[in-house]
Amino acid sequence: MNIAIQHQNDILTVTLDGGLDYTVSAQMENLITDLNNIKAAKVVFDLAKVPRVDSVGLGMLHLAKDTVLEAGTRLVLRGASGSVLRLFELTDSARSFDIE
């Protein structure tokens, strides 16, 4: 998975490119740790280039949300489509996340 981070106008955008599954859990843990050190009013996870998310990946997104909420920041998921969006709906995660 490729991860790109852009910080502009107090919005931190994290663009994920590739499958969000158990194989990238260490990479996601490092990203979540880095989120603690970046101050922004809103964190956006751009999932437009994520073709699939497994249960571990979904758990990592929940962990990221909890981390940024503890810092008083809002987390938004953007660009989810197809099976990724369907996973959010089936697991009721669509209610847990702010999805654009």
pLDDT tens-place string over residues 20-64:
999 999 999 999 988 888 888 999 999 999 999 999 999 999 999
The CA radius of gyration of the chain, in Å to the nearest whole number, is 12
Q: How far apart are the first and last CA of the chain?
A: 22
What does pLDDT average to over the chain? 92
pTM: 0.92
Q: Which domains does the chain have, with CATH numbers?
A: 2-99 (3.30.750.24)
Q: What is the pLDDT of residue 83?
A: 93
Q: Residues with Cβ < 8 Å from 26, sequence gap 6 or more? A: none
